Structure 1
Amino acid sequence: MQWGLTLAVIVCGALTIRPMGVSGQGLLVAALFVLNCAALLARGLPPGRIPPPAVLLWLSLGVLAAAALIGASRSGTGYLFAFFLSGHIGYRLPPRQAVTLALICGLLCGGVLYFQIGPGHHLLPWAVGLTAGVPVVIGMLNRAQHQAVNAALSAAESAERAARAEAQAAVLTERGRIARDVHDVLAHTLAGINMQLELADALLDTGDLEKVRAANDKAHSLVKESLKQAQWTVHALREDSLPLVETLTAMLESSGHRDTLTVSGTPEEVPARATQNLLRIAQESLTNAARHAPGGAVRVELAFAASSTVLTIRNRPATRTVNPGVGSGMGLIGMRERVALLGGTLTAGPVTEGPDEGGWQVEAVIPR
């Protein structure tokens, strides 16, 4: 549309502005007409391609050329160049500069007609020249609208980038969660099975088949336990809710620690996410106790307070030879990550006093 209006003004000027020739007054009018055409055609250049000082110089020279064309021509539509250029001033320049230059444009064009400069002063009233700067308002409105559209597009792009970043963060969080669950299921159980198989291999040399059979049975029980843990993992990934007390009791019984759970407070329903993480913390702690303190007694306490749920796992020192094997080193890190995601706190460290001195304690506090 802009190019169409620009070409229409140029064509009208070429057909109506007189005199226009190759000598004398006609040559002057022709030269001014070319300058006005160049100033008007420059409107199509992208705003960011021309430095601000060059824009101000170009529009200022365009205003002078438009006023001079009104004065030099005897007839025609030369005044249209001033009107369209004034509107573009409002679009290209900041408000203060635009108003100032448009006012100068109106005063120059009005002055040319008022003081009867040139042969065509009698065709237009001088007030028409004064109004040459009025279109600057339209240009300023177009500029404001264009800036608003750009701001909206920029905001939309920023929102889209933020949404993509949030989605990526959610994916990474979910990957971390799945990695912790896979670690809990595979690393712990496979480590226990490996220990039992190594024990059975060592016992083969002694010829003690009863102990070999016992180690083999223990490995089989660990395989069954790993299947049960895999089911827990599937529940966790599907956000299914497990009963905390009952599941924790079953976990302790399957690990050989019967009657070691103490529940205080009024048992209440715990959110599925908190339940799954508390069960994983208990599983991690029991596995570590079996690996680093074999034969040591284990006590588990689950406290339901008004503002939090507290899980405490404490084991006594080992009573049998410790054969820790190779661990992943990610157990305690995983526990801390689980509790942090729930806004809670986790403390882990050796027991320094009391009947369990020399053992290890893990305590997870999950806020309600």
Structure 2
Amino acid sequence: MRAAVTAAVIVVSALTVRPVGSTGRGLAVAALLVLCSVTLLIRHLSLTGLLPRIALLWLSVGLVAAALLLGVASSGSSYLFAYFLVGHAGYRLPLRQALLLAALSALLCTGIVYLRIGPGHALLPSIVELTTGLPVLAGILSRSRQSAVEAMAASAEAAGRAARAEAQALVLTERSRIARDVHDVLAHSLAAVNMHLELADALIDTGDLAKVREAHDKAHSMVKESLEQAQWAVHALREDSLPLRESLTAMVESSGHRDALTVTGTLRELPAQITQGLLRIAQEALTNAARHAPGGSVHVELVAAASTTLRVRNGPPRDAAGAGAGAGSGMGLIGMRERVTLLGGTLTAGPITEGRDQGGWQVEAVIPR
């Protein structure tokens, strides 16, 4: 659009400004007409790296040429160059320089028109003075609008980068959580299964079939237990999982402890991340109870107050010989602490020294709402 306006100004001036010739006054008009046209065309070039002083000089030369053309030409629309160059000065130059050029153009054009028509027409030079400098305001407004558009584009681009970075961070966080779930479910269980299978292989050479069968049965039991844990891990990862209370009830009952869950307070709907974290902590605590205290009593308590508290207690093993069976590396407890820390809560775990479950173990997770 701006290029079309520039072309129209140049064409109209070339067709109307007179006299144009190869000698005398006509040559001066032609030279000034070419100079004004060139300065007007320069504004369409890519001048991002142009120094402000060079831009000021270029526009100053153009405005002086436009004012001289206004005095030399006897007819035509030579004044158009002054108007458009002043407008571009408001768009291209800093505010102070743009206003100085507008004042310069107004004074030059007014003086030249005054000298041409004489002192008897004082009103016309005043009108020229006022109107020649006004286009600078349009240029300044255009520059402000362009700056606002560029700022909005930069802001949108920055917001897009921030959104992409946040999405990537969420993906990495989710990957870490899934990796932690897979590790908690499979890593130490498979290590224990492998250990018992290797033990069974070693016992085959001794001919003690009873011990071979015992190691084999233990490995089989651990595989079954690992499959059950994997099912609960997948259940916790699904978006359509049951609410926390129903999920805990099903989990406790599937571990062989009916009516072992107690819920205190009004349990509100919790964020999915907290629900999944509490389910995984309960699963790990129940698994540890079955492994380290086989046959012992288990009690799970969920307290809903200012914070959500999950407490899993187990009594001592019924069979003293089974205590500590299938001891792990402690990674399960580390994983539980990591989960609670990510949720902004606290976790305590340790032996029970008094009460009906004395000699057992308790895990307590407190998650703020």
**Do these two structures clear the TM 0.5 threshold for a shared fold by scoring above it?**
yes
Aligned to 2:336: 335
1:1-368 pair list within 5 angstroms: 1-116=1-116, 125-130=124-129, 131-239=131-239, 240-241=241-242, 243-250=246-253, 252-253=255-256, 263=262, 265-266=264-265, 268=267, 271=270, 273-285=273-285, 302-312=301-311, 331-347=332-348, 362-368=363-369
Higher mean C-alpha deviation, range 17-26 or range 181-190:
17-26
| In 2, Cα distance between equivalents of 1:359 and 1:202 | 34
| In 2, Cα distance between equivalents of 1:196 and 1:302 | 34
| In 2, Cα distance between equivalents of 1:362 and 1:114 | 98
Shift of 1:270: 6.5
Q: Secondary structure at the match of 2:347?
A: strand
Aligned residue type for 1:308: S
CA separation of 1:77 and 1:189: change in aligned 2, threshold 3 A: same
Cα pair 2:306 2:368 within 8 Å, conserved: yes
Aligned residues with identical type, % of pairs: 57
| In 1, Cα distance between equivalents of 2:297 and 2:52 | 78
Shift of 1:29: 2.4
How many residues are aligned here? 357
Shift of 1:82: 0.4
Cα offsets for 1:13-66 (capped at 9, x unmatched): 222223333333333322222221111011102352422222112112211111
CA separation of 1:159 and 1:129: change in aligned 2, threshold 3 A: same
Higher mean C-alpha deviation, range 258-267 or range 83-92:
258-267
CA separation of 1:198 and 1:275: change in aligned 2, threshold 3 A: farther
| In 1, Cα distance between equivalents of 2:266 and 2:222 | 30
Structure 1: where are the runs of 5+ without partners?
A: none
Shift of 1:79: 0.9
Cα pair 1:252 1:260 within 8 Å, conserved: no
Cα pair 1:17 1:77 within 8 Å, conserved: yes
Give the TM-score normalised by the residue count of structure 2: 0.80
CA separation of 1:298 and 1:193: change in aligned 2, threshold 3 A: farther
Shift of 1:362: 4.8
Q: Secondary structure at the match of 2:116?
A: coil
| In 2, Cα distance between equivalents of 1:290 and 1:262 | 16
Shift of 1:204: 2.9
Aligned residue type for 1:180: R
Q: Secondary structure at the match of 2:301?
A: strand
Cα pair 2:253 2:259 within 8 Å, conserved: no
Cα offsets for 1:235-275 (capped at 9, x unmatched): 1221202535424534654xxxx699685745846645434
Cα pair 1:302 1:309 within 8 Å, conserved: no
Root-mean-square deviation (CA, aligned residues, Å) is 3.8
CA separation of 1:75 and 1:128: change in aligned 2, threshold 3 A: farther
| In 1, Cα distance between equivalents of 2:267 and 2:135 | 73
Q: Secondary structure at the match of 1:21?
A: coil
Shift of 1:357: 11
| In 1, Cα distance between equivalents of 2:263 and 2:234 | 29
| In 1, Cα distance between equivalents of 2:269 and 2:72 | 90
Structure 2: where are the runs of 5+ without partners?
A: none
